[in-house]
Amino acid sequence: MARPPQDPQVRITEILNAAEPLFYSKGYQETSISDIVTNMGVAHGTIYYYFKSKEEILEALIQRYLLTFVSEVKAKIRTDNITPLCKIQLIIQVLLKSIYRDKKLLFEFIYNDRMIHFIDKLARQGKHVTNPLFLEIIEEGNQKNYFQTTHPLAAVNIIQAIIDSLIKEIYEKSPKELLVYQFKLAEELIDHVLGLKQRTINIVIE
């Protein structure tokens, strides 16, 4: 078997970079470890130094996306030059905007009945990284009198449910008219949850 490079992260990145386009072009179920190895141009056993299965590769891709998302969001919200209201809008917009990539939907290949466990895992891991950010911002907004929320954690849970409903409609490719209306309702519901005046929250996805 081939010897692993001295820096494991270099090879891990190479594996993920080789696997990801194959999952999009061929489909996750249809892509084999052999396909990934061929795409990399390495010995078949190389991958097994780092991943026990194709499923672990997909999990690593999900983690890489979430880390990138959190890094981008934190860089934008950890500043005094942006209000709590704008921070809430920014997280939602970055999250929804990140779903779209190169005329495809992020991890679109897992959105089928056979991959329901991965859809659930992605949703749970997404909430795990965004819940603390939402909670931090809502508590800041309460302290600075931007929001009127008596139970910040409950507010976070409701906002996450609203976001989930939007993501579901996007992946189901709902008609544009329905999607626009659902976004409008989402804005109104988040206004209510945060104790804001109606038509305060504005979610814009360019």
Over residues 57-86, the mean pLDDT reads 91
> Count of domains in the chain?
2
Residues 129, 46, single domain; the answer is no
How confident is residue 79, by pLDDT bands cut at 50, 70 and 90? confident
Burial 86-116, CB ≥16 within 10 A → b, else e = ebbbbbbbebbeebeeeeebbbebbbeeebe
- Whether 44 is covered by a domain: the verdict is yes
Give the CATH number, domain containing residue 73: 1.10.357.10
- Whether 80 is covered by a domain: the verdict is yes
pLDDT of residue 85: 94
pLDDT of residue 151: 96
pLDDT of residue 204: 79
- Whether 170 is covered by a domain: the verdict is yes
pLDDT of residue 45: 80
Q: Tell me how far apart the alpha carbons of residues 140 and 123 are, in angstroms, rounded to a whole number.
A: 25
42 or 82, which is more confident? 82
- Whether the predicted pLDDT of 1 surpasses 60: no
Percent of the chain with pLDDT over 70: 97
Residues 46, 27, single domain; the answer is yes
pLDDT of residue 42: 82
Which single residue is written with the structure tokens 């386009």? 21
Residues 102, 18, single domain; the answer is no
Residues 86, 40, single domain; the answer is no
pLDDT of residue 7: 75
What are phi and psi for residue 100, nearest 5 degrees? -90, 130
- Whether 3 is covered by a domain: the verdict is yes
Which single residue is written with the structure tokens 């814009």? 204
Give the CATH number, domain containing residue 21: 1.10.10.60
> Which CB contacts under 8 angstroms, 24+ apart, belong to 95-104?
95/69, 95/126, 95/130, 95/163, 96/163, 96/166, 96/167, 96/170, 96/203, 96/205, 97/205, 97/206, 98/65, 98/69, 99/167, 99/170, 99/171, 100/205, 104/24
- Whether 202 is covered by a domain: the verdict is no
Q: Which amino acid would we find at residue 165?
A: S
The three-state secondary structure class of 105 is: strand
Over residues 2-10, the mean pLDDT reads 66
Q: pLDDT digits over 27-49, tens only?
A: 999 999 999 999 888 877 889 88
Q: Tell me how far apart the alpha carbons of residues 57 and 21 are, in angstroms, rounded to a whole number.
A: 13
Bridge partners (DSSP) listed for residue 104: 101
Residues 112, 149, single domain; the answer is yes
pLDDT of residue 117: 85
Residues 124, 75, single domain; the answer is yes
Final residue belonging to a domain, choices 10, 30, 52: 52
Q: pLDDT digits over 93-126, tens only?
A: 999 988 987 778 999 999 887 888 888 888 889 9
- Whether 205 is covered by a domain: the verdict is no
**Angle CA 9–95–58, to nearest 5:** 35
- Which of 76, 68, 118 is CA-nearest to residue 98? 68
